[in-house]
Amino acid sequence: MASSLFAGVAHLLARSEPFNLLTEEEREAILRKMTLELYTPGEIILAQGEDVHRALYLVEDGLVRLTEAENGRTIDMVGPGSPISAYGLLQGGSLPFEARAVQETSCALIAADTFRDMIKRNEAFRAYFETDIQRYVRSLDEDIDASGAFLLFDTTLDRLVHGPPPVVVAEASIKEAAQVMADSAADAVVVVRDWIPVGLITEGDIIELGQRVFERIHAVVEFLRVRRVECSGRDARHFLRLLEGGGEFGHDPGELLGDLAHGL
């Protein structure tokens, strides 16, 4: 069990900034002196005012709220991969905020001496934490409630999907795709070939294509007007068929005029 937990932390370090800036050997050095602690919802992880900074706390799993304890102001809501105690380790003195578990949470504790050693040896690693502290200082006068945004972006997509998406086969026409959108009250359809998704057509795509068709028709009609060419109803129908026959709603207007002249 312990080995699997530490394997999970190793993976977290490898993909989380700024630990992904370290070498594999440096991350292994962190793991050798690391411990894990578990917290229940509502439990204080770090109390505001603490002045003994024994480790860098890294959220391994769960959700942590950082607040100013005296007024309840939320500074941030952080999840897996977020360090929450660098301020005290780098600035010294009393911790200016409280860290409290919002849900079942586990934290990896990176020994203070190991953390400070990495700060000295890796410039990019140090720069990350210096920038993070500057961001915190700038936020002191801002009224922030990050909980809603964090919980939104932490929501998995399976909780938002209410049903299968509308689909059309790749051989379908634009008209058929538009009809499927209308029937399903959707603004996009998934394009499939042999029931494997190959693309997406949106309402905006259809509007854009329609605009391009309109512009091409307008260019040809204007050309005919300038040349004073008269078309019969049969000619107009033939012209529209030529437009529809192109792979992308027709060809260049000059080519269309050549086709039209040939068809008369």
Q: Tell me the percentage of the chain whose pLDDT exceeds 70.
A: 70
Q: Are strands 64-68 and 98-101 parallel, antiparallel or unpaired?
A: antiparallel
| The two three-digit tokens of residue 254, written as one number | 């000059």
| pLDDT, tens only, 209-242 | 777 777 777 776 676 666 555 555 555 555 555 5
Q: What is residue 83's three-state secondary structure? A: strand
Task: Indicate if the pLDDT at residue 2 is higher than 80.
Answer: no
* Mean pLDDT, residues 75-94: 84
Q: Domain locations in the chain?
A: 2-153, 163-264
Task: Indicate if the pLDDT at residue 63 is higher than 90.
Answer: yes
Q: How far is CA 65 from CA 61, 136, 264, in A?
A: 13, 14, 76
What are phi and psi for residue 191, nearest 5 degrees? -95, 125
* Mean pLDDT, residues 123-151: 65
pLDDT at 144: 47
Whether the Cβ atoms of residue 95 and residue 85 lie closer than 8 Å to each other = yes
pLDDT at 109: 92
Task: Indicate if the pLDDT at residue 167 is higher than 80.
Answer: yes
pLDDT at 44: 94
> Residue 253 burial (CB < 10 Å; 0-12/13-18/19+)?
buried
CB atoms inside a 10 Å sphere around CB 106? 18
pTM reported for the whole predicted model: 0.51
pLDDT at 57: 92
pLDDT at 264: 38
pLDDT at 161: 60
Asked: is 163-264 a CATH 3.10.580 domain? The reply is yes
Instruction: State which CATH number among 2.40.400.10, 2.60.120.10, 2.30.40.10, 2.60.40.10 fits the domain covering 2-153.
Output: 2.60.120.10
CA 8/CA 21 separation, integer angstroms: 18
